[in-house]
Chains A and B, each alone.
Chain A
Amino acid sequence: MSASTSTSTRDTPAPRDIPRPGAVRLTTAAITTLVARDLLRFVRQPSRIVGALSQPLLLWLVIGSGYGGTMRSAGEAGYLGYFFPGVVAMVVLFTAIFSTMSVIEDRHAGFLQAVLVAPAPRLALVLGKTLGGTLIALFQGGLFLLLSPWAGFPLGSVHWPAALATLALLSLGLTALGFALAWAIDSTQGYHAVMSVLLMPLWIVSGAMFPAAKGGGWLATVMTWNPVAYGVAGLRRALAGGDLAPGLGVPGATAARELIVCAGFAVGCIALAALASSAPSRRGRPARTSGAKP
């Protein structure tokens, strides 16, 4: 269809030949540009840091100390200790949600159009947005991890490479998942709805709040199919220095399997985001009424 018309044989002078950058250069330039933009916007909005850290912190302290008495089986560190890796995962989840919600805002504000007409491939947009969100999530999750002594995990005994690798892969996966969802959703309200029916439950049944044994057989089954559960278990294992007491992680999983599942989750979600973005954006152009008037 595209070239169905007869090709012109007219003697048209060739267009002025301006050297144009190649695909690789354009892709890397677009990725670094979008990452830099997200980081810049992040440091300019301190409220985002406070927001993404304070809610999990409150939740951790309130629920952690409240449940302390009732959850004796949770391990030696008490419930504050049990709940801690789950709360770190929550920080990552919240950050991923916040940073990918900007895809919707960018669309409404008109900014997304400028990126879509630029010559960089769509994958650059996906990777740029995802990496930007991942770095922010990693930073906030890492900041939260510094509280681990109060959860009963001395900083010196934490297996840091495993903790950070798990955190990075979990951030990557959740941010890419958030991107894919935001691409398909037209409003931030809609995104909030999806967050409560899809993303939060993913976290709740990850073993973040209570171990598989507490939920009966069904939770163990759900956990083995929930990639976030492997992230939480991986963090729990790394915080404990590499060894996980039986019954506290995903039933039957090893440290290697936890990392592999997290990596698979990240790759799968990036592929999903790339696939979603290859279709036209949900609205090609922003609403005429919304946005910037002086």
Chain B
Amino acid sequence: MADVVLEARGVGYSYGARAVLSEVSFAVRRGEIFGLLGPNGAGKSTLFGILSGLLSPRTGALLAGGQPVDPRSRAYRARLGVVFQQPSLDLKLSGRENLQLGASLYGVPRGLARERIERALALTELGERARDKVEKYSGGMRRRLELARVLLHEPELLIMDEPTQGLDLASARRLWRHLGELRAERALTILLTTHDPIEAESADRLLILDQGRVVAEGSPAELTARADLGGDIITVEGDDPAALASALSAGLGVSAKVTEPETPNAAPVVTFTAPRGHELVPRVVELFPAGRLRAVQVRPPSLGDAFLRLTGRTLAGDSAGVAA
């Protein structure tokens, strides 16, 4: 059994009578990137609050190194680096001052802190802007600075809440590359929450949360396989999707459904699954007169599809489900 850094056993939490987490159990192994995947409202933020030491679980326990720990205890928090969804930097201070502040809040001795700060500034390529106030930094720079700050006390476990939320694609990729380097360099264990199935693909293992409960756990590949999605996903776009769906079902012997799109304001589309989907595409096109279809797309199943299959909901919204 791999070395477990942090384990949750039957963790539950409720606000008054409303249970937001129940019986959540998982184990994070040393050196892995562990993702908590779920839509907004799945209980990720509450779980993050417990893991970061801001809340105590109402039921169940956290274990570190096999021993039960109180997440609000000093010893637990000292081993943790926490990156919140919204940067917790002091915008009126410079980049370097923010790093100094972070180091001294965790009691890093001054000389050691100075050394690590210079190294962190070089690593994050923020050296030239170290004297500027953080309010002048871009979103990507702030993330990098924040990450550098929470690593100054060399935590065992880095936990991040939606780390790429609000970042442009280039900054998000850069952040992931940086996380990969950190993990390789110092066997850092990383736990992060996300609602983005594409981002979740980068994790080693995932815990899928829905409505405060664990739906599934495993590597992205295992989860997609376990959801038993029946092959490739074929998406067909065109007017009157209900008519399209019945024509496709009748003509190809598949079970085509009208599905709400993942992006808001887009029109509903028709989807169905089939093994070796690319072979079906010519037949789909031949079923309809020219101009009837706007687009036909084939892709392998993703984590988003697995989530939909496992929970009946999309990751995009709390209630956006499968339409009739």
Contact = CB atoms under 8 A, between A and B. Distances in A.
The 8 A-B residue pairs with the shortest CB-CB distance, nearest first, are A21-B107, A114-B88, A12-B66, A119-B78, A3-B68, A8-B66, A118-B105, A110-B88
Contacts of B80: 117
A148 interface: no
Interface string A102-124: 00000001111111111111000
B300 to A, nearest CB: 33
A116 B52 CA distance: 9
Contacts of A32: 104
Nearest to A25: B107
19 contacts: A2-B56, A2-B57, A2-B68, A3-B61, A15-B65, A18-B79, A21-B106, A26-B78, A29-B105, A41-B90, A111-B88, A111-B89, A113-B84, A113-B88, A117-B53, A120-B107, A284-B49, A285-B85, A292-B139
B42 to A, nearest CB: 15
B93 A40 contact: yes
Interface in B131-152: 135, 137-139, 142, 149
A16 B49 CA distance: 25
A201 to B, nearest CB: 32
B49 A5 contact: no
B309 interface: no
A44 to B, nearest CB: 6
A2 B36 CA distance: 22
| Interface residues on chain A, size class | 35 or more
A46 interface: no
B17 to A, nearest CB: 18
A122 to B, nearest CB: 10
B141 to A, nearest CB: 8
A285 B44 CA distance: 13
Interface in A1-53: 1-5, 7-8, 10, 12-16, 18, 20-21, 23, 25-26, 29-30, 32-33, 37, 40-41, 44-45
Contacts of A10: 1, 66
B45 interface: yes
Given A25-B107, A293-B139, A20 B78 contact: yes
Contacts of B108: 21
B86 A16 contact: no
A32 B107 CA distance: 11
